Amino acid sequence: MQELIQYFTNISDEARGIFLISGLTFFLFIESGVPLFRMEYSKIKHAFINITFTIITLIVNLFGAYLILAAVNYNESHGTGLLNLTELPLWLYVLGGLIFMDLIGAWLIHWIQHNVKWLWKFHLIHHTDPNVDVTSGLRHHPGENIFRLLFTTLAVFVTGASFGLVMLYQTISVFFAHFSHANIKMPLAVDKAFSYIFVTPHFHKIHHHYIQPHTDSNYGNIFSIWDHVFRTATSVKKMDDLVYGIDTHMKPEEHSSIKNLLMIPFQAYRPPVGSKFSVQ
């Protein structure tokens, strides 16, 4: 375990890039063999749109790394953070760090984005995808990336996680972004069993159903336990009933134009069916 943390403490940008590309390639291959849905769309065009947002995300994260490093250095200098309150076995330090960073840096900001209208307008880009596959996992507006980085930094402050643990968390997080969005069919019994602890493909796909109330559920990133704890988990009887996208942006010119996707947060708000937000 110590060797693992040490490896991620010194991980290079090239190695992180390899993890990202390898995950995409692996799940693209699996999608072609055991797809959940047979979707009629241009996979290349779809991938181009989503990978463009992925590249933007990587650029934003380069600057965000300085914030995370500052939080790590502060905790190390002052001995602050939950993980530093007492001496913990290394396995518990790693597991506790991953679980609570996932709560603050992923679940909490995701829940807030669904409950604060102006933040929802940035997050909306992720939900406009009508063909959810492995490339959809990093389809996020640059503005949303900034919010997520701020909460990741907050998670580091609160937990007191070391730099190596943060890098391990982010690598696992990217893997689950690929895994949970990948258009793969898992045996229902297996998916359901794992979904009590981890975010599985079927568990997360419900979150991408085009209308409420499913859109506002299953917020988890790595661990689904927070959805069960806070009672935001939901399920469907048949996965075939799911329709991807968001009912306010079902036209191709709205969900397949990079320019329009970037402008959505600044356009007039259109409430989806069952929305808790007013038009104003």
* 3-class secondary structure per residue, 86-109: CCCCHHHHHHHHHHHHHHHHHHHH
259: tokens are 């320019």
Q: For 115-172, how does the pLDDT look when each residue is reduced to its tens digit (9 = 90+)?
A: 999 999 999 999 999 999 999 998 999 999 999 999 999 999 999 999 999 999 999 9
Q: What residue has token string 């709205």? A: 254
- DSSP one-letter string for 37-50: S---S-HHHHHHHH
Residue 52 has pLDDT above 70, yes or no: yes
Considering the chain, what percentage of its residues have pLDDT values greater than 70?
A: 98
Q: For 74-114, how does the pLDDT look when each residue is reduced to its tens digit (9 = 90+)?
A: 999 999 999 998 888 999 999 999 999 999 999 999 999 99
Between 274 and 232, where is the model more confident?
Answer: 232
- Secondary structure letter of residue 107 according to DSSP: I
Q: What is the pLDDT of residue 265?
A: 95
Confidence category of residue 199, pLDDT binned at 50, 70, 90: very high
Instruction: For residue 134, tell me if it sits in a domain.
Output: yes
- Secondary structure letter of residue 233 according to DSSP: -
Instruction: For residue 280, tell me if it sits in a domain.
Output: no
Range of the domain at 59: 2-266
**Average pLDDT in the chain:** 92
Residue 245 has pLDDT above 70, yes or no: yes
For CA atoms 226, 230, 231, 234, give the dihedral sign: negative
Q: What is the pLDDT of residue 149?
A: 94
Q: What is the pLDDT of residue 279?
A: 54
Between 280 and 231, where is the model more confident?
Answer: 231
Residue 271 has pLDDT above 70, yes or no: yes
Instruction: For residue 126, tell me if it sits in a domain.
Output: yes
* Rounded Cα–Cα distance for residues 50 and 20 (Å): 14
Q: What is the mean pLDDT of residues 209-215?
A: 85
Instruction: For residue 273, tell me if it sits in a domain.
Output: no
Instruction: For residue 224, tell me if it sits in a domain.
Output: yes
Task: For residue 33, give the amino acid letter.
Answer: G
Between 110 and 3, where is the model more confident?
Answer: 110
Instruction: For residue 151, tell me if it sits in a domain.
Output: yes
Instruction: For residue 276, tell me if it sits in a domain.
Output: no
Domain count, the chain: 1
Residue 240 has pLDDT above 90, yes or no: no
Q: What is the mean pLDDT of residues 252-279?
A: 85
Q: What is the pLDDT of residue 278?
A: 59
Q: What residue has token string 């038009």? A: 279
* Rounded Cα–Cα distance for residues 131 and 12 (Å): 33
Instruction: For residue 272, tell me if it sits in a domain.
Output: no
